[in-house]
Amino acid sequence: MEMDTKVTVHDAMTSSVITADPKTTIADAAGLMSRFKIGSLVIKSETEPEGLITESDIIEKVVSKNILASEITIGQIMTKNLILIDPGSELNQAARLMAKNNIRRLPVVNNGNLVGILTSTDVLMVSPELTELLVENARMENQREYLESEKSVPGICEICGNYVEYLDTFDGKFLCEECKEDLEDE
């Protein structure tokens, strides 16, 4: 008889989630993050998360715009429409969801209640083999940004799998010249 050795989100998540009300000021939120040495807060006024705020959000949406942190609430700048995950989901599914959506944190919700948070660090600590998935996504994101300015980068063709010095984009994929020509001819 084979044992089920699937690693779940519950196995890797942090169950003690620091939360804040949407009416909390940015200054107070930053104080919480500093005191607990965390990079984000889940925002909720009931049981289910309404949003998320990160250190990057504070820098990008408040500090860089010279807005006084005591005069703006986290509800005004939080990321809404969160992608949530169930604690029983497989960890590799969570890693794929994070990679696909280019996010590093997933609130874990069970029957409408926040029960934890899963970060990319949690995933890597429990299942280092998933590192490749997250690193590959980061590499592809960097290449996409680079392509917007340069149009061509070295890498692996998403169709044939060959490494080439120059990849082009076609229908949102990185392709070698040969595969791109084949698709254009269809």
Output the pLDDT for position 183: 85
Q: Does residue 94 lie in a domain region? A: yes
Q: Does residue 3 lie in a domain region? A: no
Instruction: Return the higher-pLDDT residue of 70 and 5.
Output: 70
**Claim to verify: residue 83 and residue 117 sit in the same structural domain:** yes
**Claim to verify: residue 31 and residue 74 sit in the same structural domain:** yes
| pLDDT digit string, tens, across residues 108-117 | 999 989 999 9
Query: Can you tell me the distance from the alpha carbon of 77 to that of 54, in angstroms, rounded to the nearest whole number?
Result: 10
Q: Which structure tokens are listed for 92?
A: 């590799």
Query: Can you tell me the distance from the alpha carbon of 151 to that of 166, in angstroms, rounded to the nearest whole number?
Result: 9
Q: Does residue 144 lie in a domain region? A: no
Q: How far is CA 42 from the centre of its chain?
A: 14
157 is in an annotated binding site: yes
Query: Can you tell me the distance from the alpha carbon of 181 to that of 168, in angstroms, rounded to the nearest whole number?
Result: 10
Task: Please identify which residue in the block is written with the tokens 């990679």.
Answer: 99
179 is in an annotated binding site: yes
Q: Which structure tokens are listed for 53?
A: 């705020």
Q: Is 160 helix (H, G, I), strand (E, B) or coil?
A: coil
**Claim to verify: residue 64 and residue 124 sit in the same structural domain:** yes
**Claim to verify: residue 122 and residue 155 sit in the same structural domain:** no
- Radius of gyration for the chain, computed over Cα atoms and rounded to the nearest angstrom: 20
Helix (H) or strand (E) holding 173: strand 173-175
**Claim to verify: residue 73 and residue 106 sit in the same structural domain:** yes
Task: Give the domain range for residue 177.
Answer: 151-185
175 is in an annotated binding site: no
Q: Does residue 110 lie in a domain region? A: yes
64 is in an annotated binding site: no
Q: Specify burial of residue 165 (Cβ count, 10 A radius: 0-12, 13-18, 19+).
A: exposed
Q: Does residue 117 lie in a domain region? A: yes
Q: Does residue 172 lie in a domain region? A: yes
| pLDDT digit string, tens, across residues 74-114 | 999 999 999 999 999 999 889 888 888 889 999 999 998 99
**Claim to verify: residue 97 and residue 157 sit in the same structural domain:** no
What residues pair up with 43 in beta bridges, in sequence order? 20, 51
**Claim to verify: residue 27 and residue 111 sit in the same structural domain:** yes
Q: In the predicted model, what is the mean pLDDT of the chain?
A: 85
Whole-model pTM over 0.85: no
Q: Is 52 helix (H, G, I), strand (E, B) or coil?
A: strand
pLDDT at 137 over 80: no
- Total of domains in the chain: 2
Q: Which structure tokens are listed for 176?
A: 């070698």
Q: Does residue 143 lie in a domain region? A: no
**Claim to verify: residue 175 and residue 114 sit in the same structural domain:** no
Domain boundary among 83, 100, 130: 130
CB 116 within 8 A of CB 126: no
Q: Does residue 91 lie in a domain region? A: yes
Query: Can you tell me the distance from the alpha carbon of 64 to that of 3, in angstroms, rounded to the nearest whole number?
Result: 52
CATH number at residue 111: 3.10.580.10
CA angle, 134 then 139 then 142, to 5°: 125
